[in-house]
Chain A
Amino acid sequence: MNEQQSILLEQLLEQVQKPAQYIGGEMNSVIKDWDSVRFRFAFCFPDTYEIGMSHLGMKILYHLINSRQDALCERVFMPAADMADRMRQSGLPLFSWETRHLLTEFDIIGFTLQYEMSYTNILEMLDLARIPAYRDQRTDDMPFVVAGGPCAFNPEPLAPFIDAFMIGDGEDVMHELIEVIRDGREAKKEKIDILRDLARLEGVYVPALYQAEYNEDGTLRAFYPVDDAAPKVVKKRVVKDLSAAIYPDTIPVPYTEIVHDRMVLEIMRGCTRGCRFCQAGMLYRPVRERSMDRLLELADKLQQSTGYEEMSLSSLSSGDFSCLPQLIQALMDRYRDKRVGVSLPSMRIDNIVKQSLEETQQVKKSGLTLAPEAGTQRLRDVINKGVTEDDLIRSVTDAFECGWSSVKLYFMMGLPTETDEDLRGIGDLAKKVVDAYYRVPKEMRSKNGVRVTASASVFVPKPFTPFQWAAQDTMETVHEKQASLREYLKLKCVHFNWHESGLSMLEACISRGDRRIGDVIYAAWKRGCRLDGWNEHFKFDQWIEAFHDCGLTPDFYAYRERPYEELLPWQFIDAGVSQEYLKKENEKARQVQTTKDCRHGCNGCGLHTWGVCDWVKHPPLKDSDKMSAPLFD
């Protein structure tokens, strides 16, 4: 950024809301000498600072790239609407938070894909950076635009815009990607040749080298590589040993308040539960734990380098971490004097933890969040959510006895096979939670009274899950069901939250979209859509118009049940879990049959053939072992 632009930025900052989010300069942010490195990476988070700074993956990769001597990594976030408008009006291009370099000055621009409804922000950010959104309109001297993260497992909706996708664990592939682009650029190779080199890396998908063909009814007829360098199947990358993998021992500490303002310790990756709606549970297989030694070493370093007063444990199902009670005990012992609070995963409030709770006040009693997901045992069996009503009531009773008074219950509506009885079940369950509070003796429970918040999101079928073929409920049906739920949840001490149905419908379109959806996203952005995840900015009608602009209908993507024979847009990606396994699981769901947690023994999901699955060799649990409720924080 030149001097004029710097002055302009300072002026804009005085005119916008929450200006402090744009200033950078946080403790532990890494500022390297721009000219002393061979390679510059702009890590872009396609949402605002307060969201992006709460994201763990960004912290890992920021640390990983900056740990290289030859490279630097700086952060970029989506400006809020007022800032974006003023930047555009005044001609100030998008810049990095560390040194305020323009995005065009970087070698790679990398986006993390956490949520489909942030895709218009990618187009907005590229536009603010003055980089053409469509990859075929970018010249060779422009930065490479790459992307990764869970949504990259169906990369097709962004295929027109992104040069290369990283599929799977980012820390496993990032060095190779950087080196291929670095060497290619230094050797003055043409972009297409660098792309070919990238396509040869395992776990990298280069959309320019593939072709999609469609049937007359709009379904995919064929999808194939059109270049020798491109593999037919792109296999996800997996970090085999999480303890040996790089993890940040220092993270930028923001000045302003962000959503999750605390240290995060990722205790394990992956989940063995096999909930059939859960994409993360399938994508992040196999389960890998970090060792206690490594976790305690990281915790100490993080605590010293950040000064944070709170630490949380992160994973898909922290209660399943094999050394959880020991870990929590060790952390509490270590940090009692330093006044560091430890946020517990809400479930598994077993005796060890309960005792610690009584001894200390290191644990915040802000709220307990449980996710039964469905209202009846039948439907919980359909989705393979291995939690019973007894588990749930036991968990909340334990919590009430420890002084908790507010409970959040997460449900989904529109799950396959759902009936009115399942919706009534949500009301019944909420009522039983309230009753559980009143059964706790007065002297043990909180004096604040109980408050139960039931949230019902709309089920969105996702790729690489057993429900990837399913139809989503129409918006009309969703509205009827929401009305019913409002009735069933008219209960004392119970509050009901529901979600914007239009947003979930569009999420369904994009998450299972094909290459043509890219044009819809572009058309929507052209029509002013951005920050779609923010209620005040969401423009449903413009999205529908955008589909029409492209001659497509949302119904085709959201409401259509796919036959097994149909070629799915993401089928060329190998996520480890086989399509056959997903079909089998979908069939079991229809027959209300559950599948056991794979720590009881391998279910043959596909990953066992990769040699990365410890559980196959050493099943750690016997069938008789009682499992605790898999409810998340």
Chain B
Amino acid sequence: MKMIVVFEKAPRLRLIGHLDLMRAMQRALRRSGLPLRYSQGFNPHILLTFAAPLSVGMPGKREIMEVPLEHDVTPEDFVQKLSSALPPDLPVLSARPVDERHPAPMALLTAAVYEAQLEQVPDNFQQTIDGFLAQKEINVMRKTKSGLKPSDIRPMIYDLRLQGGTLHMALALSEKATCKPDLLLQSLFEFAQTERPRALITRLQLLGEEDGVFKPLESL
């Protein structure tokens, strides 16, 4: 069986890179005493996949990983064992057993919800956002393997709202199309023609789709 696990990467750990996080999680799993599966080969390592790497600097409220297991374990037992092996800033929130044929979370991922806490909100910013979203195309330059290339991110913005000092965003995140929140902020503040304020961006939720409706990835 495989376990779909939801965990949090707390703000204190936001500057930890993806590889470091993965190593920390592998060591936690080794401490947990759970029946893990190892890769074959010269340097066997724990089988473990993350739905989507988090950028350095970004905390994650509900991150998802898939842990293949040697034999069946109840989700309660899994959560309890893994929790006791994790540091306080990396709590495990839930676990759901799925069978071997269940597609990998990474393959089901289509979008993510973010929030950006802005240090200052420009005047009439809601109007700016409305104007920004009313554009038919939002062309930005993106770094690709073959240099900078123009690309339209408008279809990748599923939601963009201001609530108090916080910007809520739902953006495409999949193997086919991804709009990073940083890129969106850059484009938005260029459109607003104001200097971009400091902002702590947090990934709140990973999403997949069922019958054309977004749902939390861990429930799919």
Q: Which residues of B contact A13 (CB under 8 A)?
A: 15
Q: Select from chain B the residue with minimum beta-carbon distance to A253.
A: B27
User: With A and B bound together, what is the CA distance between A20 and B29 in angstroms?
Assistant: 21
Q: Is residue B24 within 8 Å, beta carbon to beta carbon, of the partner chain?
A: yes
Q: Select from chain B the residue with minimum beta-carbon distance to A28.
A: B87
Contact digits for A10-39, partner B, Cβ 8 Å, 1 yes 0 no: 010110000110011111110000000000
Closest approach, in angstroms, between the C-beta of A373 and any C-beta of chain B? 33
User: With A and B bound together, what is the CA distance between A37 and B28 in angstroms?
Assistant: 30
Closest approach, in angstroms, between the C-beta of A251 and any C-beta of chain B? 12
Number of chain B interface residues as a range: 20 to 34
User: With A and B bound together, what is the CA distance between A253 and B88 in angstroms?
Assistant: 13
Q: Is residue B122 within 8 Å, beta carbon to beta carbon, of the partner chain?
A: no
Closest approach, in angstroms, between the C-beta of A250 and any C-beta of chain B? 10
Which of A112-120, A301-309, A556-564, A584-592 makes up part of the contact surface? A301-309
**Total A-B contacts with CB atoms under 8 angstroms apart:** 59
Decide if B30 touches A307 in the complex (CB within 8 Å). yes
Contact digits for A350-388, partner B, Cβ 8 Å, 1 yes 0 no: 000000000001000000000000000000000000000
Chain A: residues with Cβ within 8 Å of the partner, total of: 25
Decide if B27 touches A257 in the complex (CB within 8 Å). no
Q: Is residue B16 within 8 Å, beta carbon to beta carbon, of the partner chain?
A: yes
Decide if A27 touches B42 in the complex (CB within 8 Å). no
A256-B20, A339-B38, A339-B44 known; A23-B31 Cβ under 8 A? no
Closest approach, in angstroms, between the C-beta of B53 and any C-beta of chain A? 15
Decide if A20 touches B20 in the complex (CB within 8 Å). yes
Would you call the interface of chain A mostly helix, strand, loop, or mixed? Answer: loop
Closest approach, in angstroms, between the C-beta of B126 and any C-beta of chain A? 27
B24-67 at interface with A (beta carbon < 8 Å): 24, 26-31, 33, 38, 42, 44, 57
Q: Select from chain B the residue with minimum beta-carbon distance to A341.
A: B43
Decide if B15 touches A25 in the complex (CB within 8 Å). no
Q: Which residues of A contact B104 (CB under 8 A)?
A: none
Q: Select from chain B the residue with minimum beta-carbon distance to A364.
A: B43
Q: Is residue A338 within 8 Å, beta carbon to beta carbon, of the partner chain?
A: yes
Q: Select from chain A the residue with minimum beta-carbon distance to B25.
A: A307
User: With A and B bound together, what is the CA distance between A67 and B38 in angstroms?
Assistant: 36
User: With A and B bound together, what is the CA distance between A338 and B29 in angstroms?
Assistant: 12
Contact of A14 among B20, B27, B33, B57 (CB under 8 A): B57
Decide if B44 touches A27 in the complex (CB within 8 Å). no
Closest approach, in angstroms, between the C-beta of A168 and any C-beta of chain B? 34
Q: Is residue A534 within 8 Å, beta carbon to beta carbon, of the partner chain?
A: no
Decide if B31 touches A255 in the complex (CB within 8 Å). no
Closest approach, in angstroms, between the C-beta of A494 and any C-beta of chain B? 28
Closest approach, in angstroms, between the C-beta of B138 and any C-beta of chain A? 27
Q: Which residues of A contact B28 (CB under 8 A)?
A: 27, 307
User: With A and B bound together, what is the CA distance between A307 and B30 in angstroms?
Assistant: 5
Contact of B87 among A19, A26, A309 (CB under 8 A): A26
B61-96 at interface with A (beta carbon < 8 Å): 85-89
Contact of A23 among B12, B23, B27, B29 (CB under 8 A): B12
Contact of B42 among A19, A29, A307, A361 (CB under 8 A): A361
User: With A and B bound together, what is the CA distance between A87 and B192 in angstroms?
Assistant: 34
B112-162 at interface with A (beta carbon < 8 Å): none
User: With A and B bound together, what is the CA distance between A26 and B28 in angstroms?
Assistant: 11
Decide if B44 touches A19 in the complex (CB within 8 Å). no
Contact digits for A287-315, partner B, Cβ 8 Å, 1 yes 0 no: 00000000000000000111111000000
Decide if B16 touches A309 in the complex (CB within 8 Å). no
Q: Is residue B17 within 8 Å, beta carbon to beta carbon, of the partner chain?
A: yes
User: With A and B bound together, what is the CA distance between A257 and B31 in angstroms?
Assistant: 19
Decide if B20 touches A307 in the complex (CB within 8 Å). no
Decide if B57 touches A25 in the complex (CB within 8 Å). no
Contact of B13 among A25, A306, A308, A338 (CB under 8 A): A25
A323-352 at interface with B (beta carbon < 8 Å): 338-339
User: With A and B bound together, what is the CA distance between A101 and B73 in angstroms?
Assistant: 42
User: With A and B bound together, what is the CA distance between A305 and B32 in angstroms?
Assistant: 9
Contact of A20 among B17, B89, B198 (CB under 8 A): B17
Q: Select from chain A the residue with minimum beta-carbon distance to B46.
A: A339
Q: Select from chain A the residue with minimum beta-carbon distance to B24.
A: A255
Closest approach, in angstroms, between the C-beta of B67 and any C-beta of chain A? 14
Decide if B57 touches A255 in the complex (CB within 8 Å). no
Closest approach, in angstroms, between the C-beta of B43 and any C-beta of chain A? 8
Q: Which residues of A contact B38 (CB under 8 A)?
A: 339
Decide if A309 touches B20 in the complex (CB within 8 Å). no
Decide if A27 touches B24 in the complex (CB within 8 Å). yes
Decide if B30 touches A338 in the complex (CB within 8 Å). yes
Decide if A257 touches B30 in the complex (CB within 8 Å). no
Decide if B30 touches A27 in the complex (CB within 8 Å). no
Q: Which residues of A contact B89 (CB under 8 A)?
A: 25
Q: Which residues of B contact A338 (CB under 8 A)?
A: 30
Q: Which residues of B contact A256 (CB under 8 A)?
A: 16, 20
Q: Select from chain B the residue with minimum beta-carbon distance to A339.
A: B44
Q: Which residues of A contact B21 (CB under 8 A)?
A: 255
Q: Most chain-A CB neighbours within 10 Å: which of B12, B29, B30, B42? A: B30
User: With A and B bound together, what is the CA distance between A339 and B13 in angstroms?
Assistant: 28
Closest approach, in angstroms, between the C-beta of A31 and any C-beta of chain B? 8
A255-B13, A339-B38 known; A307-B87 Cβ under 8 A? no
A255-B24, A257-B20, A307-B85 known; A19-B29 Cβ under 8 A? no
User: With A and B bound together, what is the CA distance between A339 and B46 in angstroms?
Assistant: 10
User: With A and B bound together, what is the CA distance between A338 and B24 in angstroms?
Assistant: 17
User: With A and B bound together, what is the CA distance between A11 and B14 in angstroms?
Assistant: 13
Q: Which residues of A contact B15 (CB under 8 A)?
A: 13-14, 19-20, 23
Closest approach, in angstroms, between the C-beta of B15 and any C-beta of chain A? 4
Q: Most chain-A CB neighbours within 10 Å: which of B31, B33, B89? A: B31
Closest approach, in angstroms, between the C-beta of B178 and any C-beta of chain A? 23
Closest approach, in angstroms, between the C-beta of A50 and any C-beta of chain B? 13
Q: Which residues of B contact A26 (CB under 8 A)?
A: 87
Decide if A304 touches B31 in the complex (CB within 8 Å). yes
Q: Which residues of A contact B42 (CB under 8 A)?
A: 361
Q: Select from chain B the residue with minimum beta-carbon distance to A29.
A: B87
User: With A and B bound together, what is the CA distance between A256 and B24 in angstroms?
Assistant: 9
Closest approach, in angstroms, between the C-beta of A421 and any C-beta of chain B? 44
Decide if B12 touches A309 in the complex (CB within 8 Å). no
Contact of A308 among B12, B16, B27, B86 (CB under 8 A): B27
Interface residues in chain A, defined as those with a beta carbon under 8 Å from any beta carbon in chain B:
11, 13-14, 19-20, 23-29, 253, 255-257, 304-309, 338-339, 361
Q: Considering the complex of A and B, which 7 residue pairs feature the smallest CB-CB distances, nearest first?
A: A307-B27, A307-B30, A307-B31, A19-B15, A27-B87, A20-B15, A255-B20
Residue contacts A-B, CB under 8 angstroms, 8 given: A20-B17, A23-B12, A253-B24, A255-B16, A256-B20, A304-B31, A306-B31, A307-B27
- Besides the known contacts A27-B87, A28-B87, 7 further A-B residue pairs in the complex with CB atoms under 8 A apart: A11-B198, A13-B15, A14-B57, A24-B12, A26-B87, A29-B87, A308-B30
